[in-house]
Amino acid sequence: MVAAKEEGEVIFYSWWGEHWWKITAQQFQEKYEIDAILVGGAAAKTFMESKVLYGPILPITPNSDKLDPKLSKIQEGLLTNGYLVPIYRNQTGLLYDPQRASNPPQTWDDDTTINLNKGTLLKRAKLYIPKMGFTGGGDTAGVLKNAPHKTAGLLFMAYLTEAEAQIQMNETIGSFLARTEVQGKVALLSEAVSTLAIGPDCF
């Protein structure tokens, strides 16, 4: 942690859920006295194929054994080889109005929760996974090889996977927690139901 504080800054890319990232960056800054700067994001495939990631970092991330085992290996159909750390999971399912819909559309659980809270979807909407299963996945984060503050970046990855940060993410943007032993408060599907779905290794 001393080396991370000496580096003093971490710049990170966000792909969505900017409100949660800003809150998390502020809390990280307060806890560790290291600036966390948010900028726009990019896809895992681009990073993996261009070989710009530092690592592997998953084996040295605290509590990595508590993170989703499928998302720890594969994201967007791509083997991550420990270069990316799971941050949150999502689940494809069917959202429908049980009073009207005979052919419900496909949607993501975290986006659905956000839209239910905003009032852009009807409150009686339900989400389910058919017995045949649907893909599930999530998002991961990594540290660039040429990052000037790698230690601060690794500390930030560890912070993102702490139970408290995971719970706050779930409450703020509604995503499934990447940590499988911690229960989130906001979800349209239970952990038991979401594990019945086909995992990210099927992409």
Q: Hey, where are the domains in the chain?
A: 2-202
What is the pLDDT, as a whole number, of residue 203?
Answer: 35
Max mean pLDDT among 84-88, 113-117, 121-125, 160-164 falls in 160-164
Residue 152 Cα distances to 14, 168, 199, angstroms: 17, 21, 31
Give the per-residue pLDDT at 198. Answer: 47
Q: Using DSSP, state whether 32 is helix, strand or coil.
A: helix
State the average pLDDT for the chain.
79
Mean pLDDT calculated for residue range 167-183: 86
Give every CB contact of residue 111 below 8 A, 6+ residues apart in sequence.
90, 174
Residue 88 predicted with pLDDT over 80: yes
Assign residue 33 a region: left if phi > 0, alpha if psi is -120 to 50, beta otherwise? left
pLDDT in tens, 6-31: 999 998 877 777 788 889 999 999 99
Band (pLDDT 50/70/90 cuts) for residue 201 is very low
pLDDT band at 134 (very low <50, low <70, confident <90, very high): low
pLDDT tens column, 28-83: 999 999 988 766 555 677 878 888 889 999 999 999 999 999 889 988 778 889 99
Cα-based angle 38, 68, 153 (whole degrees, multiple of 5):
30
pLDDT at residue 202 is higher than 60: no
- Domain 2-202: give its CATH superfamily: Periplasmic binding protein-like II (3.40.190.10)
Residue 42: other Cβ atoms inside 10 A: 10
Q: For residue 143, is pLDDT > 70?
A: yes
